[in-house]
Amino acid sequence: MIEELDQLQTEVLASLETADTSDALTAWYRETLGGKGSVQLMTRKIGSLPVEERPAFGKRVNEVKEALQSAFDVRQSAVKRSEMDADIADGGIDVTLPGRKIRPGGLHIATETLREIYKIWGDMGFHVFRSRDVETDHYNFELLNIPQHHPARDMWDTFHTTTPGVLLRTHTSPGQIHAMHQHYPNPIRVILPGMVYRYEQVTARSEFQFHQVEGLAVGKNITFADLKGTLTGFAHRMFGERPVRFRANYFPFTEPSAEMDVYWGLESETDYRITKGTGWLEVLGSGMVHPTVLKNGGYDPNEYSGFAFGMGVERMAMLRYNINDIRYFWGNDLRFLEQF
Ligand code: DAH
């Protein structure tokens, strides 16, 4: 049987040398190494051999296969090369044709906006701190001064997992607690970007997932004046030198809390619509870190103070680029994405 195999090897190697076109090579491969080719068929004969001869035969078949495969590879590249040379020689390839344009990908508008935000905060000494998307109720709510059954939980419609107490973060604020645990007792200047999830109806104005950038500064003698000055500086770089104002508000994790508006103007009909006729646009929530939250992060509120803020990234992009429907962001329509 082994002689039969050797004989076959010699024969097919000889026929390989005569295959001088790609088509002939394909046919040769099919007839020898292909599924029903002559070499494969030899493999099947193994069953008809006496048991003690089988290992040697099997080994030899594999050697033959490998030898033929590498002979084939060598032959194939030689044939391809000479076919290409022939094509070029008889003008079959027009080397003066312009190349095909490769269309490079681009950054998603949400990523671009995030990077711009990182840059501005980076220049002000804030570094990026990342924390998890899957959170516990404890971090997402309780440590942020929102106990079970607190009415303020209505502000965040939540995706719960099948594990009790484990959920998709509804905001980036739980990262504040992680950042404090990691930095104690040092001062903190961080921004915490990430995707957040809300169990909400998808409409032109709300999505069930979007990015937020949270900010946290903790240290000694940080005051509300620091909050106002820092956030005003951010707004001027993000939106240009427009007036800003702070409006009192309520968040359970800050006291006092404020929302920041920028003056958009009332020049066009769109300005009227998006500012509801006031000329002012709300851009972020903020406040002085609540003493309970500082304590939960390990910082003594009698010694330390801090401010925090949170903003929606897609919302920023919508304002800056006049995008009127948030569903475009995750709709993956290139006609939208390519505009940026
Ligand atoms: N976590 C709030 C939200 O998702 C946003 C926010 C408001 C964050 C005020 C803050 C803050 O850090 O101080 O609606």
Enumerate the domain spans of the chain: 2-90, 110-337
Residue 87, pLDDT score: 83
What value does the mean pLDDT take over residues 254-265? 96
* CATH number, domain 110-337, options 1.25.40.10, 3.30.930.10, 1.10.3210.10, 3.50.50.60: 3.30.930.10
My answer on whether omega of the bond before 256 falls inside 30° of 0, hence cis, is yes
Which amino acid does the sequence have at 283? V
Average pLDDT over residues 44-65: 87
Is the Cβ–Cβ distance between 290 and 216 less than 8 Å?
Answer: no
Ligand 1 center from residue 220 Cα (angstroms)? 22
The reported pTM is 0.72
Report the half-sphere exposure of 319 (CA within 13 A, side-chain side). 23
Q: Which atom of ligand 1 is nearest to the CA of 311?
A: 5
Q: Alpha-carbon distance 242 to 236, whole Å? A: 6
Cβ(254) – ligand 1 distance below 6 Å: yes
Q: Which atom, in ligand 1's list, is nearest to the CA of 215? A: 12
- 29, two tokens: 């491969």
Pairwise CA distance, residues 312 & 316, whole Å? 6
Alpha carbon distance 21, 28 (integer Å): 11
* Cα R_g (the chain), whole angstroms: 34
The mean pLDDT of 224-240, rounded to a whole number, is: 97
Q: Is the dihedral of CA 72, 78, 82, 84 positive or negative?
A: positive
- pLDDT single digits (tens) 293-334: 999 999 999 999 999 999 999 999 998 888 989 999 999 999
Pocket test for ligand 1, best of 222, 249, 251, 314 (most atoms within 8 A of CB): 251
Backbone torsions φ then ψ of 283, nearest 5 degrees: -115, -25
Output 25-30 pairs: Cβ under 8 A, ≥24 positions apart: 25/72, 25/75, 25/76, 25/79, 28/72, 29/72
Residue owning the nearest CA to atom 6 of ligand 1: 310
Pairing of strands 188-197, 127-128: parallel
- The answer to whether the peptide bond before residue 98 is cis (omega within 30 degrees of 0) is no
pLDDT tens for each residue of 187-221: 999 999 999 999 999 998 889 999 999 999 999 99
Pocket test for ligand 1, best of 169, 173, 234 (most atoms within 8 A of CB): 173
Q: Whose CA is nearest to atom 3 of ligand 1?
A: 171
Q: What is the pLDDT of residues 141-178, one digit of tens each?
A: 999 999 998 887 888 889 999 999 999 999 999 999 99
